[in-house]
């Protein structure tokens, strides 16, 4: 999992206006000032294979309802994870 997350992080950091900061034992990825993804670093989410991405929704009252998890169990799951992260990245621009 650590290697898969490193590959994802490497790809995310190639996208325009993306940076990351450590947060609660995880790596938080931002587009500008808007956080759009979290990858495990020193701790995991609900499962050891989860990466989190945020889909801003003005109808969602609580912040936690905006977050989704993607199970990244093997290398072939990277394409699916990148698709989810790209949707979150694109929505982060409209949330700025």
Query: Mind listing the pLDDT tens digit for each residue in 1-44?
Result: 889 999 999 999 999 999 999 999 999 999 999 999 999 988 88
CB atoms within 10 A of CB 69: 15
Assess if residue 64 is contained within a domain.
no
Worst-scoring range by mean pLDDT, 8-22, 24-38, 52-66, 69-83? 52-66
Domain count, the chain: 1
Question: What stretch of H or E contains 78?
Answer: helix 78-95
**Considering the domain boundaries, does residue 8 fall inside one?**
yes
pLDDT (0 to 100) of residue 78: 94
Domain annotation covers residue 67: no
Q: CA–CA separation, 13 vs 65, rounded Å?
A: 25
Is residue 80 a part of any domain in this protein?
A: no
**What are 41's two structure tokens?**
């670093």
Determine the structural domain holding residue 10 and report its residue range.
1-59+88-96
> Residue 82, SS3?
helix
65 within a domain of the structure (yes/no): no
Name which residue leads in pLDDT, 9 or 57: 9
pLDDT higher than threshold 70 for residue 87: yes
Specify if 79 maps to a domain: no
Q: How confident is the model at residue 96 (pLDDT cuts 50, 70, 90)?
A: low
What span, in angstroms and rounded, lies between the C-alpha atoms of 50 and 73?
8
Residue 37: predicted pLDDT? 96
Q: Is residue 22 part of a domain?
A: yes
Considering only CA atoms, which of 83, 70, 3, 78 is closest in space to residue 38?
Answer: 70
pLDDT score of 35: 94
Determine whether 44 is exposed, middle or buried from the number of CB atoms within 10 Å of its CB (0-12, 13-18, 19+). Answer: middle
Quick check: is 26 in a domain? yes
3-state secondary structure (DSSP) of residue 72: coil
């Amino acid at each position: 999992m650590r290697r898969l997350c490193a590959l994802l992080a490497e790809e995310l950091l190639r996208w325009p206006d993306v940076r990351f900061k450590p947060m609660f034992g995880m790596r938080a990825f931002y587009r500008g000032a808007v956080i759009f993804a979290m990858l495990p670093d020193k701790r995991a989410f609900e499962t050891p294979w989860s990466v989190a991405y945020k889909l801003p929704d003005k109808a969602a009252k609580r912040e936690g309802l905006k977050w989704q998890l993607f199970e990244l169990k093997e290398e072939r799951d990277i394409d699916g994870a990148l698709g989810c992260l790209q949707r979150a990245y694109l929505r982060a621009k409209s949330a700025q």
